[in-house]
């Protein structure tokens, strides 16, 4: 998890990151941690080039092995802006030599060391002593330690460990990775293998799901139900078949925590009547049978631990824990990483997640009936990007998530039939729309629409933002916001911008989604709102008011509109760098810009592009997206008092995840 966190931190600062593990076990099975890292989206490296030698090589000739490591490392490192080097896992029998060899590797590769020290079953003083002896040995071999990170510290009690390490090593970057049930959890597949179980019912694709706990059901059904925990594996004696329908019904009801699986012990044959019952009840809970007795099976499962890289869920959780508990900026500074002058799409996506995590906001998703929304919600919850509210029937949402193999732990599911909320929302809507003649009965009818219900949650502060449009039209998403969320003071129009992630930078294009033919005043509003959007996402705004001519050369109503809009922007926001009318080539190309507008702060360097009409804007962003391979994130709705964002009905899960992050960041402003 430390290595993964460092990869993420580097990705936000440099264009390319490479991975190298000097020492692996060897054999037929790939190194699991190394394999996980090289398969990250930000890493473009083959597994076979990402390691040095095996333990057998070191035992045979340590000096020759070190030479091979240096040679193989240099063959890879020249292709990347930064390298993350993983020390060995200390699972072989090299003994004390292993740490010394790691120290020699670090020194010969001129790599500073971020030291991970397990705090499991160790006091803060014991962790500090272990760190001190390790740092001393590293120093004797001329390897420098820049960070010390105790791992598996007691959750919620990291303070004493940080204090002890910081006191002993005042110049080191100190963080922790707290113990976590999910990270330590084995998969259902690992459990099944450990007890030699065979499946007789339920989902067949659930073996990769984590099991966070084990419950022995040796009591009556009511007592079992009262002890169910989320993502538990339940062990029950095979002759207690009356428990099966009760547990299945509990899962279908949605009123009890979702389980990972049910194991029947003792090798008993399930009676034909019970088999028929199971086969004819629609249910997804995986049910297994093992020949082991209840005690033996429980003993094996209670002592089973999973690997920290066995699922995407664990990987995302590890990222989040690192981000929350380790100062990545301080670590990068200690590594003397020079910030890249470019901003790739992947860098930007990671930056979005990081910005959203800094101050988590509650985002409501009204379209829980769409599988993409549930998948995106699960991903956001894993990453810790935002808190999620789903509108829908709790039983239906949980059942569908279970069928998809998704964890929605931490999500709030709100029923649109909650009488208290319906009456509160309807009364508020009727009051706000009284001048339009809206009655309370009409207001109640409006609250049956998920877009209206979700928008009202945002309006009343029950949610910080809303993301919709996977099923609903843009109009259906925006109209409720215009009716009662309203625009910000001084803003006359809602507009839609796209964050265009090019190969080396991120630009803002607007309006590409909402206004067909904005007036000069509206165009000025769009420009000022788009500049604010740029600032919110770390982009220095240099605004180009686009037209078919540059400067004073063109004449006609269309170019005059852009010229007037530019003057309005200069009057209303004199601090903005803005130029217009200006042609697209003069705005983006420094050579053309210097010829057509010499001395301009915007020409050739524009970052915010304001199109004169929707036809031009929508077609241009799609043309750039398709022909230049740019990542188009959006549309980002601008100008509203509170953030509501629209999705394309063809949106992919990643698009939805990005839009949720954007909405959360907008809510922070």
Find all residues with CB under 8 Å of 443, minimum gap 6, and list them: 425, 426, 427, 429, 430, 433
Helix axes 312-325, 345-358, angle to 10 degrees: 60
- pLDDT given at position 440: 92
Q: What strand order describes the sheet that includes 362-365?
A: 412-414, 387-391, 362-365, 465-468, 644-646
CA–CA dist 498, 250 (Å, integer) = 45
Convert the pLDDT of each residue in 201-254 to its tens digit: 888 888 888 898 999 998 889 999 999 998 899 999 988 888 888 888 888 877
Q: What is the mean pLDDT of each run of 10 residues along the chain (669 residues)?
A: 84 84 83 84 86 88 87 86 84 68 85 89 92 89 88 87 92 89 87 92 84 90 90 91 86 84 90 78 85 93 78 79 86 72 67 85 94 92 91 89 84 93 94 90 92 94 93 83 86 90 87 90 94 91 93 82 94 94 93 91 94 93 86 86 87 88 92
- pLDDT given at position 95: 58
Convert the pLDDT of each residue in 392-445 to its tens digit: 998 889 888 887 888 898 899 999 999 999 999 999 999 999 888 889 999 999
- pLDDT given at position 341: 56
Whether the model clears a pTM of 0.85, i.e. scores above it, the answer is no
- pLDDT given at position 324: 84
C-beta atoms surrounding 153 within 10 Å = 25
Task: Please check whether residue 633 is in contact with residue 665, taking contact to mean a CB–CB distance below 8 angstroms.
Answer: no
Task: Please check whether residue 426 is in contact with residue 394, taking contact to mean a CB–CB distance below 8 angstroms.
Answer: no
DSSP annotation of 483: I
Task: Please check whether residue 365 is in contact with residue 392, taking contact to mean a CB–CB distance below 8 angstroms.
Answer: no
Sign (positive/negative) of CA torsion 584, 589, 594, 600? positive
- pLDDT given at position 602: 94
CA–CA dist 461, 113 (Å, integer) = 46
- pLDDT given at position 215: 93
CA–CA dist 638, 385 (Å, integer) = 21
Task: Please check whether residue 22 is in contact with residue 52, taking contact to mean a CB–CB distance below 8 angstroms.
Answer: yes
- pLDDT given at position 346: 62
């Amino acid at each position: 998890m430390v290595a993964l966190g460092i990869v993420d931190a580097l990705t936000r600062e440099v264009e390319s990151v490479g991975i190298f593990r000097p020492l692996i076990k060897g054999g037929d099975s790939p190194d699991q941690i190394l394999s996980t890292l090289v398969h990250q989206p930000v890493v473009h490296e083959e597994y076979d080039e990402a390691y040095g030698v095996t333990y057998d090589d070191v035992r045979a000739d340590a000096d020759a092995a070190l030479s091979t490591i240096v040679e193989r490392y240099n063959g890879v490192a020249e292709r990347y802006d930064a390298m993350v080097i993983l020390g060995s896992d200390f699972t072989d029998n090299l003994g004390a030599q292993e740490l010394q060899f790691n120290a020699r590797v670090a020194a010969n590769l001129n790599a500073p060391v971020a030291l991970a020290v397990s705090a499991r079953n160790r006091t803060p003083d014991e962790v500090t002593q272990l760190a001190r002896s390790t740092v001393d040995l590293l120093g004797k071999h001329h390897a420098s330690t820049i960070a010390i990170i105790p791992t598996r510290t007691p959750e919620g009690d990291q303070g004493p460990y940080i204090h002890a390490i910081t006191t002993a090593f005042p110049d080191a970057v100190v963080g922790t990775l707290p113990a976590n049930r999910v990270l330590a959890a084995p998969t259902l597949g690992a459990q099944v293998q450990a007890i030699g179980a065979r499946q007789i019912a339920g989902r067949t694709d659930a073996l990769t799901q984590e099991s966070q706990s084990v419950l022995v059901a040796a009591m009556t059904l009511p007592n079992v139900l009262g002890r169910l925990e989320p993502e538990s594996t339940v062990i029950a004696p095979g002759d207690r078949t009356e428990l099966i329908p009760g547990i299945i019904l509990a899962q279908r009801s949605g009123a009890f925590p979702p389980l990972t699986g049910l194991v029947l012990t003792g090798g008993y044959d399930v009676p034909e009547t019970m088999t028929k019952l199971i086969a004819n009840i629609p249910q997804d809970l995986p049910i297994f049978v093992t020949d082991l007795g209840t005690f033996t099976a429980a003993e094996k499962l209670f002592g089973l631990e999973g690997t920290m890289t066995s699922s995407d869920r664990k990987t995302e959780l590890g990222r989040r824990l690192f981000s929350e508990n380790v100062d990545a900026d301080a670590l990068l500074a200690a590594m003397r990483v020079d910030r890249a002058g470019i901003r790739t799409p992947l860098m930007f996506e990671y930056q979005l997640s990081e910005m959203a995590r800094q101050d988590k906001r509650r985002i409501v998703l009204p379209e829980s009936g769409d599988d993409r929304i549930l998948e995106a919600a699960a991903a956001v919850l894993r990453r810790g990007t935002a808190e999620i509210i789903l509108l829908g029937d709790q039983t239906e949402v949980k059942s569908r998530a279970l069928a998809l193999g998704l964890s929605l732990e931490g999500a709030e599911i709100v029923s649109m039939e909650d009488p208290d909320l319906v009456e509160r929302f309807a009364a508020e809507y009727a009051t706000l729309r009284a001048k339009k003649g809206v009655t309370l009965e009409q207001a109640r009818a409006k609250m049956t629409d998920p877009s209206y219900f979700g928008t009202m949650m945002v309006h009343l502060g029950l949610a910080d933002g809303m993301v919709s449009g996977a099923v609903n039209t843009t109009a259906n998403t925006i109209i409720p916001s215009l009716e009662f969320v309203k625009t910000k003071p001084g803003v006359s129009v809602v507009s839609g911008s796209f964050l265009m992630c090019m190969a080396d930078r991120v630009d803002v294009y607007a309006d590409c989604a909402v206004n067909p033919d904005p007036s000069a005043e509206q165009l000025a509003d769009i420009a000022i709102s788009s500049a604010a959007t740029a600032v919110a996402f770390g982009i220095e705004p240099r605004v180009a008011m686009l037209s078919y001519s540059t400067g004073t050369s063109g004449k006609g109503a269309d170019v005059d509109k852009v010229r007037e809009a530019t003057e309005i922007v200069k009057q209303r926001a004199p601090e903005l760098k803005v130029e217009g009318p200006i042609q697209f080539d003069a705005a983006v190309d420094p050579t053309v810009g210097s010829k057509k507008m010499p001395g301009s702060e915007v020409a050739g360097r524009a970052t915010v592009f304001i199109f004169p009409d929707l036809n031009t804007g929508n077609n241009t962003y799609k043309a750039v997206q398709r022909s230049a391979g740019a990542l188009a994130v959006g549309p980002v709705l601008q100008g509203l008092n509170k953030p509501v964002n629209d999705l394309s009905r063809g949106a992919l899960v990643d698009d939805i995840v990005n839009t949720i992050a954007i909405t959360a960041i907008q809510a922070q402003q």
